[in-house]
Amino acid sequence: MNHDQDLVLEATGLDKTFLARKGLRRPGTRAVHAVCNVSLKLWRGETLALVGESGSGKSTTARLLTLLERPDAGSVRVLGEEWTKLRPRGLRARRRHLQMVFQDPFASLDPMKMVVFTIGEPLMIHEGLKGADLDRRVLALLDLVGLPASALHRYPHEFSGGQRQRIAIARALAADPAVVVADEAVSALDVSTQAQVLNLMKDIQAERGLAFVFITHDLGVVRQVADRVSVLYHGEVVEEGAADAVLERPRMAYTQRLLSAVPEVSARDREERRAVLARLHSEAAS
């Protein structure tokens, strides 16, 4: 996997500082260093998990990787091309290669747009599709994420949370990206729906060779999906490595505290969870 031609995303020395108010009784602003010297690499077909507690800089890092926020320093290279120097027009043309799935699908989907336009927008922008050609491509994407053709002309409020997240995933996949950044993409879903969406993402990854950056605070999710893990603390990467090594033999005290905060699960509960996941995977394949 670790060959230069398979390197799809490389971030080097990312820094981001925000100005925040000092408080109601203290006039002025203070600098908040949200991300400090973050570097990472991602290869085709793998999943890198960025983990840490709330406020550790995970979501800011996700927005820097996707250039939704411009870094104060550092670089982001996608498919070998430097993105931070691109002007808005050039960046827009290249966004098809790196897409994002947000935590709250209802907030990230336009409530006034039917599914055909929500999913089809990248196809209209990047490929100029419209009419019957657009409908055919969107129907294929709906099928890919396990939604019926009847969803085509419905609105976001007509779907469940898990279905809305499938729509968001379909939209992210529409432009056939090399990388998908998923920011807490399953944290708002119940356990059964969460398992279905995670299995869906893994299946699509295997089929298309997608690379994922998975931002989460849920180490149970990390165990299920990640190949490698980077641990963020106060905006800095304090530990990184293969997922099994980081989760089973953490070196840093902060990582050990994160792991100790995960509720203990009995062997019986783990076995039941595996059975549920296996059943859901089998139903999806049939």
Residue 279 pLDDT greater than 70, yes or no: no
Residue 266 pLDDT greater than 70, yes or no: no
Which phi and psi (to 5°) does residue 37 adopt? 55, 45
- The mean per-residue pLDDT over the stretch 10-26 comes to 84
What residue ranges define each of the domains in the chain, with the CATH number in brackets?
4-21+30-285 (3.40.50.300)
CB-CB contact of 173 with 144 (8 Å): yes
Burial classification of residue 113, based on how many CB atoms lie within 10 Å of its CB (0-12 exposed, 13-18 middle, 19 or more buried): middle
Helices 115-127 and 131-144 pack at an angle, to 10 degrees, of 120
**What was the pLDDT predicted at 224?**
87
Residue 209 pLDDT greater than 70, yes or no: yes
C-alpha 229/C-alpha 210 separation (Å) is: 17
With bands split at pLDDT 50, 70 and 90, how would you rate the model's confidence at 105?
confident
- Percentage of residues of the chain with pLDDT beyond 70: 88
Helices 161-173 and 115-127 pack at an angle, to 10 degrees, of 10
- The mean per-residue pLDDT over the stretch 65-82 comes to 95
Structure tokens that stand for 194 in this block: 């969460």
pTM of the model: 0.84
- The mean per-residue pLDDT over the stretch 102-107 comes to 84
- pLDDT tens per residue, range 83-101: 999 998 999 889 999 999 9
